[in-house]
């Protein structure tokens, strides 16, 4: 797994002035907001006796350990030990490890590593998303799989006719045209026209006659973001997903779904169910892949032209300073 990178780890609206536990790269962190709304992040296990700070409370922007009441400032320094006199010196070692944190694009980003953090990845603005008039929902999906396997699945056009047949993949037309990779700082994307199948449910109300191939664009940003744009006959569907590596073999995908059709709240449940259905179709396949960790050797698995985007991801991943295989 890769360190010394900014990871999108949680939705912005999930972090409040109450401590919240977050697991990433086999580490436990605690996140919370100060009174002025700033996000703070530090190790979860209290330096004193290892109690979970996420089970504590916030007092004047300090996080208070639930076990012995030790109080830590946002910079990690302990400023109060209730069991000793207020005039007693606090040990210099009474300090928690903190992690750089930022809030951007609707996510909380945490920098995990031992090097000085650089700027966040450059994520291009999508005019459709900025134009207004969009309805958005969000959700989470858990996998018993490594996050890079999950991420690569989101870049794979060729599995749609087989894994998602009847949803949006057409098994009668599985061919994928040659991919043209659009690369940019920290990521890449590709666009294809996927053969369509007749829509079902609410979507059926918006489509008449035979469906033309659907323009579909997917891409990634290191280390853990993917996006999908589906240009439907009746509107645009965009899904952004942060694939959070809880540990080596556990991932939680935190997704945001934007649509410019059926923009009323009444259609949210249908949109949510469609998104989860796709993940559930992918889940048994991704969780069964071997080896569970993608090989560092590019020749260890066979690539064909339809795999060009995944291959680009693997090459770019290897170029990152601080990439480590566990």
Laid out side by side, the sheet with 57-59 consists of: 57-59, 62-64, 71-72, 78-80
CA distances from 171 to 3, 39, 305, 307 (A): 39, 47, 19, 18
Whether cis (ω within 30° of 0) applies to the bond prior to 291 is yes
Percentages (nearest 5) of helix, strand, coil residues in the chain = 20, 35, 45
Residue-wise DSSP of 109-132: EEEESSS---PPP--PPPHHHHTS
Please state the domain extents for the chain: 5-112, 127-319
Helices vs strands, H then E, count in the chain: 5, 17
Element containing residue 137 per DSSP (H, E)? strand 135-143
Q: CATH homologous superfamily for 127-319?
A: Naphthalene 1,2-dioxygenase Alpha Subunit; Chain A, domain 1 (3.90.380.10)
Task: Count Cβ atoms within 10 A of the Cβ of residue 235 and give its class: 0-12 exposed, 13-18 middle, 19 or more buried.
Answer: middle
Do the Cβ atoms of 112 and 3 come closer than 8 Å? yes
Span 81-117, pLDDT tens digits: 999 999 999 999 999 999 999 998 889 999 988 888 8
pLDDT of residue 128: 59
Annotation: CATH topology of 5-112: Rieske Iron-sulfur Protein (2.102.10)
Closest CA to 176 of 194, 198, 163: 194
Contacts of 204 (CB under 8 A, 6+ apart): 198
Do the Cβ atoms of 108 and 24 come closer than 8 Å? no
pLDDT along the chain (326 residues), means of 10: 86 97 96 97 98 98 98 98 95 96 92 83 67 87 98 96 82 89 92 79 61 89 94 90 97 95 92 95 97 94 96 90 38
What is the reported pTM?
A: 0.92
Do the Cβ atoms of 245 and 251 come closer than 8 Å? yes
Strand partners, 71: 64, 80
Span 115-134, pLDDT tens digits: 888 877 777 766 656 667 88
pLDDT of residue 322: 38
């Amino acid at each position: 797994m890769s360190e010394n990178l900014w990871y999108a780890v949680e939705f912005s609206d999930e972090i409040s002035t109450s401590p919240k536990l977050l697991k990433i790269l086999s580490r436990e962190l605690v996140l919370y907001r100060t009174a002025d709304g700033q996000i703070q992040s530090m190790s979860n296990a209290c330096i004193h006796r290892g109690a979970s700070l996420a089970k504590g409370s916030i007092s004047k922007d300090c996080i208070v350990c639930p076990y012995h009441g030790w109080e830590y400032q946002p910079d990690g320094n302990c400023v109060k030990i209730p069991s000793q006199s207020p005039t007693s010196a606090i040990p210099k070692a009474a300090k928690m490890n903190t992690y750089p944190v930022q809030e951007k694009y609707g996510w909380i980003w945490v920098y995990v590593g031992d090097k000085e953090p650089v700027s966040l990845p450059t994520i291009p603005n999508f005019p459709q998303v900025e134009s207004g008039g969009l309805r958005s929902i969000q959700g989470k999906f858990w996998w018993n799989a490594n996050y890079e396997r999950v991420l690569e699945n989101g870049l794979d056009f060729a599995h749609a006719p087989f894994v998602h047949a009847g949803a949006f993949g057409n098994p009668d037309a599985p061919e994928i045209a040659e991919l043209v990779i659009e690369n940019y700082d920290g990521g890449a994307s590709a666009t294809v026209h996927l053969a369509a199948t007749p829509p079902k449910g609410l979507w059926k109300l918006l489509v008449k006659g035979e469906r033309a191939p659907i323009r579909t664009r997917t891409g990634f940003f290191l280390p853990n973001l993917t996006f999908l744009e589906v240009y439907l006959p009746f509107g645009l569907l965009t899904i952004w997903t942060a694939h959070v590596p809880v540990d080596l073999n556990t991932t939680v995908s935190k997704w945001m779904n934007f649509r410019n059709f059926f923009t009323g709240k009444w259609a949210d449940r249908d949109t949510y169910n469609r998104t989860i259905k796709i993940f559930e179709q992918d889940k048994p396949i991704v969780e069964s892949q071997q080896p569970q960790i993608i090989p560092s050797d590019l020749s260890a698995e066979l690539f064909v032209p339809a795999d060009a985007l995944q291959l680009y991801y693997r090459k770019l991943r290897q170029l990152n300073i601080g990439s480590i295989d566990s």
